[in-house]
Amino acid sequence: MDLGPGVTLRGKYLLTSSIGRGGMGEVFSARGLDDNREVAIKVVSHRIVDDTLMARLEREALAARRIRSIYVPEVY
């Protein structure tokens, strides 16, 4: 699947622009289709995905979800 502006992910988020790209993948600006909320979505490159990496990313996301600060983005 080619990702870019105009693509809808899982029927929930419409990608609006690319924010940045790096060695792990790409980050997109997107809009929630059900609540119109602006979000950032990190897409990991299929070339580097393995169970260890995905477990690490999940742990990081769960830890980041616990942070409540106006200076830190919410993680969903």
State residue 69's pLDDT score.
93
Per-residue pLDDT tens over the stretch 18-32: 999 988 889 999 999
Q: What is the pLDDT of residue 21?
A: 92
Binned average pLDDT, 10 residues per bin, the chain of 76 residues: 89 96 90 94 86 89 92 84
Task: Measure the CA dihedral 36/9/65/38, to 10°.
Answer: -30
